[in-house]
Amino acid sequence: MEPPRPIKRSEKAGLPPGSLVYVGRAKAVSGPPRITVIEYGPDHFAEQTLQAVTDLHPLKPTPMVTWINVDGVANPQILKAFGETFSLHPLLLEDILNTDQRPKCEFTETNIYAILKMFEFDTVKQQILTEQVSLVVGENYLITFLEEVGDEFDAIRERLHINHSKFRTSGPDYLAYSLIDTVVDRYFIVLETMGEALDILEAQIESGYDPKLLKRIHRIKREMIFLRKYIWPVREVVTTLQHADTPLLPDVIRPYLRDVYEHTIQVMDTLDTYRDLLAGIQDLYLSIASNRLNEIMKILTIISTIFIPLTFITGVYGMNFLYMPELSWRWGYFTVWLVMLLIAGGMILFVRRKQWL
């Protein structure tokens, strides 16, 4: 996974449409791709890992469901092989390779394509990581492409092992739904992390002023902007799937898709709520900073207001004029002290009347 930052697409500009070029930053980090093929039916379950993409061959018509999962799509060759084996549209393969792709879904006569974004919170770097998930639903197969090798779908793989479960008795549509549901469920986890970060931030700001919190606010705001950019179109994807008129999505799956749809709405609601909360927290921070400046200036002004006139008086009697009658008065010094105390008292009264103390 990678932080949600814009990716250089410029190297693609000028190439003919349908050119398969990987656009992303996984190039360096990811190892070789991992291709697993799971074939299952109510009573049947078989899993194998393909050694090379050349082992891929077209599916025979069978009542079994085949799930092919590809971890690591950085290699255009693999996609090309899939494109040829399953006759996928070149423009869509291009979208799968372009990891800066906006979430979308598309229908052809034989397939449904859906591209989504998955998020994870990197607790070490305190940063949100993103990964593109692409699904291709066919009549009796599902192909999934992930940017990097990961364990995001292990829970589903586990559940597939159970004989005669809902998974095993349903078609690739239910599997696809489960994967999308898993992706959307992960949004809640990321949002919870953000919600906790907001709570901590708010508590810190209320407990005392710290200029470092400023950058924290800014960082969270930035992450939210990116989250919003990638989550917002997911709503569209799910609602399109829900209302799609295609035999690949039977009526029995619609309530499930509606459920996912409601989850995405809730994710958006929560994200918007967090945005409002963060805006409120930022206002609070700025107001507290301004309060603090007020406080500082108040102290400065009180000290100055009291002592500057007194210092002036001491200056007067520090002058060296030969003829200064007060200097030789017996009680001159004490009178001056008295005058200074009166002035100080008056100033303190003035300051109190202004409600500064």
Interface with a second copy (CB under 8 A), residue from 55, 84, 122, 276: 276
Q: Do 112 and 249 contact (CB within 8 A), yes or no?
A: yes
Q: Could you say whether residue 256 binds a second copy (CB under 8 A)? A: yes
Q: Could you say whether residue 55 binds a second copy (CB under 8 A)? A: no
Contacts 24+ apart (CB under 8 A), 224-228: 224/194, 224/271, 224/274, 224/275, 224/278, 226/4, 226/5, 226/128, 226/130, 227/4, 227/119, 227/128, 227/190, 227/194, 227/271, 228/271, 228/275
Nearest approach, Cβ of residue 156 and a second copy (Å): 8
Cβ proximity to a second copy, 27 vs 222, nearer residue: 222
Interface with a second copy (CB under 8 A), residue from 46, 200, 252, 299: 299
Nearest approach, Cβ of residue 175 and a second copy (Å): 12
Per CB under 8 A, the segment of 3-11, 30-38, 54-62, 125-133 that binds a second copy is: 3-11
Secondary structure class of 204 (helix, strand, coil): helix
Interface with a second copy (CB under 8 A), residue from 85, 181, 204, 242: 181
Site string for a second copy, 306-325 (x = CB under 8 A): -xxxxxxxxxxxxxxxxxx-
Q: Which of residues 191-210 bind a second copy (CB under 8 A)?
A: 191-192, 195, 206, 208-209
What is the Cα–Cα distance from 100 to 188, expressed in whole angstroms? Answer: 22
Interface with a second copy (CB under 8 A), residue from 17, 58, 61, 247: 17
Interface with a second copy (CB under 8 A), residue from 51, 54, 123, 328: 328
Rg (CA), the chain: 34
Q: Do 194 and 217 contact (CB within 8 A), yes or no?
A: no
Which residues are registered as beta bridge partners of 67?
Answer: 38, 142
Task: Show Cβ contacts of residue 110 under 8 Å, excluding neighbours closer than 6 positions.
Answer: 87, 138, 139
Q: Which of residues 68-97 bind a second copy (CB under 8 A)?
A: 89, 91
